[in-house]
A and B are shown apart, each in its own frame.
Chain A
Amino acid sequence: MDSLLLASFAEAAVRLGVPLALAALGETLSERTGVINIGLEGSIIAGALGGALGALAWGSAGPGIVAGAAAGLFVALIFAVFAIALNTDQIITGTAITLGGLGFTGVIYQAQFGTTGTALSLPTLEALPIPGLSAIPIVGPAFFAQAPTAYLAYALAPALWWLLYRTEWGLELRAAGEEPDAAAAAGVRVRTLRFITTLFAGALAGIAGAHLALAHTGTFSEGMSAGRGFIAIAVVVLGRWNPPLVLVAALFFGAASALQFFLQTLGWQIGYQLFLALPYVLTLAALAGWLGRARAPAALAQSWPRLHD
Chain B
Amino acid sequence: MNRLLGLISAPIALIFTLVVAAGALTLGGYDPGAAFGALVEGALGSPRALASVTLVRMVPLLLTGLAVALAFRAGLWNIGAEGQLYAGAAMAVWLGLNAGALPSWVALPGVLAGAALGGALWALIPALLRLRLGVGEVITTLLMNFVALNLAGWLVHGPLQESRGVFPQTDPIVEAARLPLLVSGTRLHGGLLLGLALAAVLFVVLRYSAIGFATRAVGASPQAAASAGRIASGRILLGVFLVSGAMAGLAGGVEITGVTFALYENLSPGHGYTAIAVALLAGLHPLAVVVTSFVFAVLEAGASAMQRSAGVPAAWVNGVQALVILSVLAVDQVLRRAWLGRRGEADG
Residue among B138, B140, B144, B316 with the most chain A CB within 10 A? B138
A-contacting 9-mer, from B38-46, B56-64, B242-250, B339-347: B339-347
Complexed CA–CA distance, A104 and B345 (Å) = 39
Q: Nearest A residue to B320 by beta-carbon distance?
A: A103
* B36 interface residue per 8 A CB criterion: no
A186 on interface, CB distance cutoff 8 Å: no
- The answer to whether A107 and B138 touch across the interface, beta carbons within 8 angstroms, is no
Q: How far is the CB of B269 from chain A (nearest CB, A)?
A: 11
Residue of A nearest to B155 (CB): A273
With a cutoff of 8 Å between Cβ atoms, the chain A residues found around residue B146 in the complex are 227, 230-231, 234, 277, 280
Q: Is B313 a contact partner of A107 (Cβ separation < 8 A)?
A: yes
* A262 interface hit (Cβ, 8 Å): no
Whether A89 is near chain B, meaning CB under 8 Å from some CB there, is: yes
Q: Is A210 an interface residue (CB 8 A)?
A: no
Name the CB-closest residue of B to A99: B322
Of B316, B322, B329, B347, which contacts A86 at CB under 8 A?
Answer: B329
- Asked whether, in the complex, the Cβ of B315 is within 8 Å of the Cβ of A233, the reply is no
Chain B residue, CB-CB nearest to A86: B333
B315 touches A271 (CB 8 A): no
Selected from A95, A97, A280, the residue in CB contact (under 8 A) with B147 is A280
Segment of A18-26, A126-134, A281-289 in the binding face: A281-289
Interface pair B143/A283, CB less than 8 Å apart: yes
Q: Is B322 a contact of A309 with CB atoms below 8 Å?
A: no
Which of B88-96, B170-178, B226-234, B273-281 sits within the interface? B273-281
For A231-271 the 0/1 string (1 means CB < 8 A from B) is 10110010000000000000000000000000000000111
**Interface membership of A1, Cβ < 8 A:** no
A82 and B329 contacting across the interface, CB-CB below 8 Å: yes
- Distance, CA A237 to CA B136, complexed state (A): 12
Majority secondary structure of chain A interface residues (helix, strand, loop or mixed): helix
B202 within 8 A of A: no
CB–CB B150/A38 < 8 A: no
Q: With A237-B139, A277-B150, A280-B150 in contact, is A288–B326 under 8 Å at CB?
A: no
Q: Find the B residue at minimum CB distance from A184.
A: B348
Is residue B131 within 8 Å, beta carbon to beta carbon, of the partner chain? no
B319 touching A305, Cβ below 8 Å: no
Report if A188 contacts B (CB, 8 A): no
Interface size classification for chain A: 35 or more
> Which residue of A100, A284, A288, A309 is within 8 Å of B336 (Cβ)?
A309
Contacts of A87 on B, CB cut-off 8 Å? 333
Known: A99-B273, A287-B135, A288-B129. A38 touches B142 (CB 8 A): yes
B23 to chain A, nearest CB (A): 13
Q: Which B residues, 256 to 300, have Cβ-Cβ distances below 8 Å to chain A? A: 273-274, 276-277, 280
Asked if residues B157 and A111 are in contact (CB atoms below 8 Å), the reply is: no
> In whole Å, how far is B82's beta carbon from the nearest beta carbon of chain A?
11
B158 CB contacts on chain A under 8 angstroms: 270-271, 273
- Which residues of B have CB within 8 Å of A284? 125, 129, 140, 143-144, 147
A102–B269 CA distance with the chains assembled, in angstroms: 13
Q: How far is the CB of B315 from chain A (nearest CB, A)?
A: 3
Kindly state whether residue B318 has any CB partner on chain A within 8 Å.
Answer: yes
Residue A274, interface by CB 8 Å? yes
Bound-complex Cα distance A231 to B333 (A): 30
B136 touches A93 (CB 8 A): no
Any B CB within 8 A of the CB of A308: yes
Q: Judge whether B190 is part of the interface by a CB distance below 8 angstroms.
A: no
Complex A-B, nearest 9 residue pairs according to Cβ-Cβ distance, in ascending order: A106-B315, A100-B322, A103-B318, A103-B319, A96-B325, A277-B150, A273-B154, A110-B313, A88-B329
Contacts A99-B319, A270-B158, A309-B1 supplied; 18 other A-B pairs, CB < 8 Å = A82-B329, A87-B333, A91-B79, A95-B277, A96-B322, A96-B326, A98-B273, A103-B320, A107-B315, A107-B319, A111-B313, A234-B139, A234-B142, A271-B154, A273-B153, A274-B154, A284-B140, A307-B347
- Chosen A-B contacts, 22 in total, with CB atoms closer than 8 Å, are A36-B139, A82-B326, A88-B332, A88-B333, A92-B276, A92-B329, A96-B277, A100-B326, A102-B315, A104-B315, A105-B315, A107-B319, A115-B313, A231-B146, A237-B139, A273-B151, A273-B154, A277-B147, A277-B154, A287-B143, A301-B138, A308-B347
